[in-house]
Amino acid sequence: MLALTWDGRAVRLSERARPGIRPDRAIVRVRLAGICNTDLEIMKGYMGFRGTLGHEFVGIVDEGPPAWRGRRVVGEINFACGTCPACRTHLGRHCASRQVMGILDADGSFAEFVVLPIANLHAVPDAVPDEAAVFTEPLAAAFEILEQVTVQPGEACTVLGDGKLGLLVAQVLHQAGARVLAVGAHPEKLAILRRCGIATTLRDDWSHELAEIVVEATGSAAGFAMALSATRPRGRLVLKSTVAASGAVDLAPVVINEITVVGSRCGPFAPALRALRQGTVDVRSLISARFPLADGIRALHHAAERGVVKVLLDCGT
C-alpha cells in the first residue's frame, strides 16, 4: 500500500506492507484523511515519532468482525491496553502503555489502509459526508472542553488562535452558550466564525479584556503566556496546543491570580458525530485544499503555509 511516512529527517511517500489483522483489530480502507497541526509538529521533533503519519480519517472497514465489515467509520486514536488502572476507570486515553495513531508507536492514517482496535471504531451516520466526517477527531477534541469545564450561559470566553482547532473550539463554546471572542491573525479565517455569529478580533486590535475562560489554541510555544495574561483572577485556562518547541514559563501569575490550568487533548466522538449530523458546526468552510495521497508531500508543505486551514488527503483507491 501507499503510505506517507516520517523517518525523523524527512517525509517520504513509499510502498509499505499492508497491515496485518489481529482478533481485536480492524483494517480500515482510508477514504479521506486530514492534516493536523500535530502532524506538522511531529516533523519538527514532537514526540520523536517514526512511521506513517496521520490520525484524522474516515474510511470503510475492510477486514474485521462481520458486524463492522463494509461500514463507514471514524476511529479514536488512543490504543489502550484495557486492563491497567487507568483503563479500568474509563481513562484509556491515559493508559500508561497506550499507542497513539500516527503519534506514538502506531502507524497512522496517511495511507491506503490503517489498523486500529475494534473498540475504537465509530459508525458514521449516512447523513454525514466524508468531507465532514473526517473532522470528527478534532471536533471531539473541541467537545472535550465541555467535559472538563462547566460553561455557564453568557460566560465570557476568549479563544486564542484561528487555526483548525481554534475555529472548532470557538463554535463548540458558542453553541454551549458562552459569549465567545475569537482572537486570531487571519481575517479570512475569522470571517468563518463571524458567519456563525461569533465575535472576532485580530490579535493586533485585541483589547486584552480578561475572560472567565480562556482557550489557548495558538499552536505556538508563546501561546501560554498570552493566554495567561487574558485570564481573569480565579478564571480557567484551557491548553490545547501541542508544540515541539519548549521554553521558560513564568508560573507566578497562576499562583498570584489563583488560575485553574486545564490540559485538554482528545475528546468524545458521540457529540462530535451528533453535531456533524445536525449541521450545528461548520466544518466545510475550513477545507482549504484537497490532494491525492500520491501528492502527500506537497500537501504537507501546503498545510504549513500561512493562512491555510484544513488540507485533506484523498487516500481512496
As given in the structure block, the three cell numbers for residue 206 are: 485585541
Q: How far is 215 from 238, CA to CA, in rounded Å? A: 5
User: What is the 3-state composition of the chain as percent helix, strand, coil, each rounded to the nearest 5?
Assistant: 30, 30, 40
Burial class (CB in 10 A: 0-12, 13-18, 19+), 126: exposed
- pLDDT tens track for 134-173: 999 999 999 999 999 999 999 999 999 999 999 999 999 9
Q: To the nearest whole number, what is the mean pLDDT of the chain?
A: 95
pLDDT in tens, 95-126: 999 999 999 999 999 999 999 999 999 999 99
The domains of the chain, with CATH numbers, are 2-135+283-314 (3.90.180.10), 141-263 (3.40.50.720)
User: Whole-angstrom Cα distance, residue 214 to residue 261?
Assistant: 10
**How many other CB atoms are found less than 10 A from the CB of residue 54?**
31
pTM above 0.85, yes or no: yes
Which tens digits make up the pLDDT trace of 176-185?
Answer: 999 999 999 9
pLDDT confidence of residue 221: 80
Q: How far apart are CA 140 and CA 267, in angstroms?
A: 5
d(C-alpha 26, C-alpha 118), whole Å: 6
Q: Quick: pLDDT tens for 191-242.
A: 999 999 999 999 999 999 999 999 999 988 888 999 999 999 999 999 998 8
